[in-house]
């Protein structure tokens, strides 16, 4: 069945460091891909999405490119801030439901 694998956390970075969180998927067909973020004490929010191969989703300085050849959707940000500390979930749209990765906790230190 469809599945998502993302890198284990926690990831600890200093402010202004470069961030990469790896995400790979297994799916039949061409699913939509998403990154959701969960800030401390808050609900899940959509961060960005891509609906077809080579699409780049971007939001709040974060980017991810849908790579069909490597079945990947890695999340990147050039310069992280303390306020980016959160848990990040990669997900794919499998028909109508979302299949999530296990989540990666990011901690950004001042």
Partner 1 sequence: GAGVSQSPSNKVTEKGKDVELRCDPISGHTALYWYRQSLGQGLEFLIYFQGNSAPDKSGLPSDRFSAERTGGSVSTLTIQRTQQEDSAVYLCASSLAESSYNEQFFGPGTRLTVL
Cα separation, 31 vs 44, whole angstroms: 20
Percent composition of the chain: helix, strand, coil (DSSP 3-state, to 5): 5, 55, 45
When the beta carbons of 49 and 77 are compared against partner 1, the nearer one is: 49
Candidate list 11, 98, 105, 107; residue touching partner 1; CB under 8 A:
98
**Residues 33 to 92 in contact with partner 1, rule: CB under 8 A:** 34, 36, 42-46, 49, 51, 89, 92
Q: Is 101 in the site for partner 1 (CB under 8 A)?
A: yes
When the beta carbons of 4 and 108 are compared against partner 1, the nearer one is: 4
Phi-psi region of 61 (alpha: psi -120 to 50; beta: other; left: phi over 0): left
Tell me the site size for partner 1, rule CB under 8 A.
24
Cα separation, 42 vs 84, whole angstroms: 13
- By the criterion CB under 8 A, which residues form the site for partner 1? 31-32, 34, 36, 42-46, 49, 51, 89, 92-103
């Amino acid at each position: 069945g469809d599945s998502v694998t993302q890198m284990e956390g926690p990831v600890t970075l200093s402010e202004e460091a470069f961030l990469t969180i790896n995400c790979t998927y297994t799916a039949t067909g061409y699913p939509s891909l998403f990154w959701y973020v969960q800030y401390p004490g808050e609900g899940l929010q959509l961060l960005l999405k891509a609906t077809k191969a080579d699409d780049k989703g971007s939001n709040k300085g974060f980017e991810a490119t849908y790579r069909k050849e490597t079945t990947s959707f890695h999340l990147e940000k050039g310069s992280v801030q303390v306020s980016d500390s959160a848990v990040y979930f990669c997900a794919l749209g499998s028909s109508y439901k979302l299949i999530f990765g296990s989540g990666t906790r990011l901690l950004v230190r001042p």
